[in-house]
Chains A and B, each alone.
Chain A
Amino acid sequence: MTTPKRDFLHSLWDFFCSLKLTMFLLISLAVISIIGTVIPQGIPPQEYLAEISPAKIKLYKTLGFFDMYHSWWFILLLYLLTVNLIACSIKRLPHIWKIITEPVTLLGESLERSLANIATIKSPDEPVALKERIVTFLAAEFAAPVVTEADGAWHFFAQKTPWCRLSVYFVHLSVIIIFIGSMIGSLFGYKGFVNILEGETVSKVMLRSEKELDLGFSLRLDQFSVAKYANGAPKEFKSILTVLENGKPVPYYTNARVIVNDPLTYKGITFYQSSYGNAGNYFFTVSDLDGKHPVPLTVAGQSSANLPDGSSMHVLEATKDISQFSPGLSGPAAQVELHTADGKSESFVVYADYPDLNIQHAQQHGKGPVIHYKGAEERMYTGLQVAKDPGVEVVWLGCLLMVVGIYAAFFMSHRRIWVRLQDGTVTIGGNASKNHGAFQQVFEKLVDRLQAELTKEKNI
């Protein structure tokens, strides 16, 4: 007698226990995840927004496509998968648990019929002597047996790695542990960013949530440097940092080296080398089209400066020696971006040692101003990622469990051997939870050796 309500709960339970749901969820997650690899995630860049229609932008925003891995429908799928794997585990675990904790220790007729591997050996020896030999043999060659006497027969049961039947559930558990770790991280951890000028000290960092966080200590950039290979490719970005507590350097955290792939951790907060730049002033002169009436112009670091004719400019990149970029030329040069008063912008290179080239460029574009590069003062800043994630150990624990679990699930099996000794006949049966072919070979060898053991002449 079941009420409709119970029926509904039953079918809901069956729904969550079904492997078809697992298949559906895994394939859906695989297909849906593609969206976020094609549509840029986070704040979409202007160039991308310019490419697609406003209607599309609105649609994508409504559907959460710009942050799809945190959208309610993606999270929902992950939750469904979690519920599904918990339900499947709960449904199947009691049966598996019984196999492990309450093994069938008697080799009865029905069990004998169900086993794929069965062999018999006849021996004229005394039952008591045989029993001892079988026990010794199994303990030495397989595993120590449980011996039971029933209905005038001796039954021996031995098993190997019964717990590996649980490995699938450990893998499922590991997924949940990883989810828990990531939740701890998002609740109690943070990610941020900080730029520090050489010689400067900071005690606050900007979080991704656009909030400022007080570190509780200070961090000073003593020096930043870039090392390069002979071919000009970057070899090392290096920040020398000092941690200060109440204005005093902390031992072991003084002049600490931070490079890419080698961060600094202090009080659970880790600083990662991420970017760098020059925040020093750039010096230019601005002249008329014929190169006359030069006026000095200073552009500070990343900011832009106004020119006499109403346009503005900022520096994209500067070098002390242009020859590595433009063979045939040499000396200092800067790549600048110029925004003219009529809303146009262009980016070009201006030189220190080639005023003619600067004039030529300006003339080609009609009117002035002519910009000449004069050099830069160097004041480097380092850009550091700042992160604290108390959930990360939990995630690694989950990963470890997953790897061990997958290994055990694929490469280990629960192997069982039953032996019955009755009226001088030894019946041996065995099975394995997986990899039956390999077990068959093990079983046959075991039977051969037992036969040799039980039928050999006594040497006394």
Chain B
Amino acid sequence: MTSSLLFNVTTFTYLISMLAFFGFLASRTKVFGTAAMIAAYFGVLTQTIAIALRWKESYDMGVGHAPLSNLYESVVFFSWTIVLIYALLDIKYKYRVIGAFVMPFALLGMAWAQLGMNNAIEPLVPALQSNWLLYHVITCFLGYAAFAVACGISIMYLLKAGSEESADKSAGTTLLAIFPPIKVLDDLNYRAIMIGFPLLTLGIITGAAWANYAWGTYWSWDPKETWSLIVWFVYAAFLHARITKGWVGRRAAWLSIIGFAATIFCYLGVNLLLSGLHSYGGK
């Protein structure tokens, strides 16, 4: 068995999970929701094994390093952290339907990685040969994943809040009937960001510590650094919005969505569109 095969199984399982969540949304049949959740758990478990196996495979090749070294590996890891954070939220708060708005992110990541990227294990360039790589990448991506979940919840909030305002009980509103109440969605959004913000902060700090250790500069306004700070500002604004009059509810949901858009730009846009220190080894 190879990690590559297991990653394919993971991708397929996430697809099934997402479709089952959509079925749950459309039919409101509980069994769909349960099946979707089981698939998600099975997928994340498979992916965990696959990541561990890829790690081992790199050692077998004599270029041993954690599978967090290039775009392919980071996208796979991102998708894993998204499902992981969602699973934690599901265990704690049990609002299953959120999966319909979170699993697409995880599936998108896996599908892109498996279909569109070279998955060869490559040796680690000197710049990445440090334990800081592990701390920095893990904290950043767990943070990103929490923001992805928050974004999914915010979309649900806006849909539900919109339909409650228009107050017309058409087919669209019945679809939204199994959404948690908007107060709960608002609260969950906050809780997801409450997980993400400290992790992003740690991610930025570990990045600064690494930069200082490797280059003697903890902050150099590199585009990646600057974008991570932009993301931090947006979520800092979100957190302050909750105690500011006129910023709760809908505006906070929009801030969360904008925050995730900035996160994605920080993660991918900076590498694909701008130049800087985080080149992922390939151009």
Contacts and interface: CB of A to CB of B under 8 A. Distances in A.
Interface of A: 19-20, 22-23, 26-27, 29-30, 33-34, 36-38, 41, 69, 182, 191, 229, 231, 233-237, 259-261, 263, 270, 272-274, 385-387, 389, 392, 395-396, 399, 402-403, 406-407, 410-411
Closest 10 CB pairs of A and B: A387-B216, A30-B233, A260-B126, A26-B237, A37-B223, A261-B130, A19-B244, A229-B123, A69-B221, A399-B205
A234 B126 contact: yes
A273 B125 CA distance: 14
A402 B201 contact: yes
Contact of B234 (A30, A236, A392, A395): A30
Contacts of A260: 126-127, 129, 214
Nearest to A389: B216
A27 to B, nearest CB: 5
A350 B218 CA distance: 42
B230 A23 contact: no
B61 to A, nearest CB: 10
A261 B126 contact: yes
Nearest to B204: A399
Interface of B: 63, 122-123, 125-127, 129-130, 132, 194, 197-198, 201-202, 205, 208-209, 212-219, 221, 223, 226-227, 229-230, 233-234, 236-237, 240-241, 243-244, 247, 262, 270, 274
A33 B213 contact: no
B29 to A, nearest CB: 29
A261 B134 CA distance: 14
11 contacts: A19-B240, A30-B237, A41-B221, A69-B221, A231-B123, A233-B123, A237-B126, A402-B201, A406-B197, A407-B198, A411-B194
A191 B270 contact: no
B204 to A, nearest CB: 9
A270 B202 CA distance: 25
A41 B277 CA distance: 14
A274 B243 CA distance: 46
Given A260-B129, A392-B212, A403 B270 contact: no
A261 B214 contact: yes
Given A30-B262, A403-B198, A36 B221 contact: yes
Contacts of A402: 201, 205
A385 B215 contact: yes
- Of A27, A41, A261, A270, chain B has the most CB atoms within 10 Å of the CB of A261
Contacts of A395: 208, 218
Nearest to B224: A37
A263 B126 contact: no
B126 A396 contact: no
A23 B221 contact: no
Contacts of A37: 223, 226-227, 270, 274
Contacts of A33: 226, 229-230, 233
Contacts of A234: 125-126
Nearest to B241: A23
A220 B208 CA distance: 29
Contacts of A272: 214-216
A23 to B, nearest CB: 6
Contact of B198 (A386, A399, A406): A406
A438 to B, nearest CB: 10
B216 A191 contact: yes
B217 A403 contact: no
B63 A229 contact: yes
A140 B129 CA distance: 50
A33 B208 CA distance: 18
Contacts of A69: 221, 226
A215 to B, nearest CB: 15
Contacts of B240: 19, 22-23, 26
A367 B262 CA distance: 55
Contacts of B63: 229
Contacts of A399: 205, 208-209
A386 B262 CA distance: 34
Contacts of A261: 126-127, 129-130, 132, 213-214
Contacts of A392: 212, 218
B122 A233 contact: yes
A47 B172 CA distance: 54
B126 A235 contact: yes
Nearest to A18: B244
Given A263-B213, A387-B217, A403 B244 contact: no
A191 B218 CA distance: 12
B229 A235 contact: no
Contacts of A23: 237, 240-241, 244, 247
A33 B240 CA distance: 20
B165 to A, nearest CB: 24
A82 to B, nearest CB: 14
A263 B214 contact: yes
A232 B158 CA distance: 52
A270 B214 CA distance: 10
Nearest to A185: B218
Nearest to B122: A233
B216 A263 contact: yes
A402 B241 CA distance: 20
A399 B214 CA distance: 18
Contact of B123 (A29, A235, A273): A235
Contacts of B209: 396, 399
A29 B226 CA distance: 11
Contacts of A385: 215-216
Contacts of B221: 36, 41, 69
A236 B274 CA distance: 27
Given A237-B126, A270-B216, A27 B197 contact: no
A411 B199 CA distance: 13
Contacts of A38: 274
A263 B130 CA distance: 12
B225 to A, nearest CB: 9
Contacts of B237: 22-23, 26-27, 30
Given A235-B126, A261-B214, 17 more contacts: A23-B237, A27-B233, A34-B230, A37-B223, A37-B270, A182-B219, A260-B214, A263-B213, A272-B215, A387-B215, A387-B216, A389-B212, A395-B218, A399-B209, A403-B201, A407-B198, A411-B194
A407 B129 CA distance: 30
A82 B230 CA distance: 17
Nearest to A260: B126
- Of A23, A29, A36, A272, chain B has the most CB atoms within 10 Å of the CB of A23
Contacts of B205: 399, 402-403
Contacts of A19: 240, 243-244
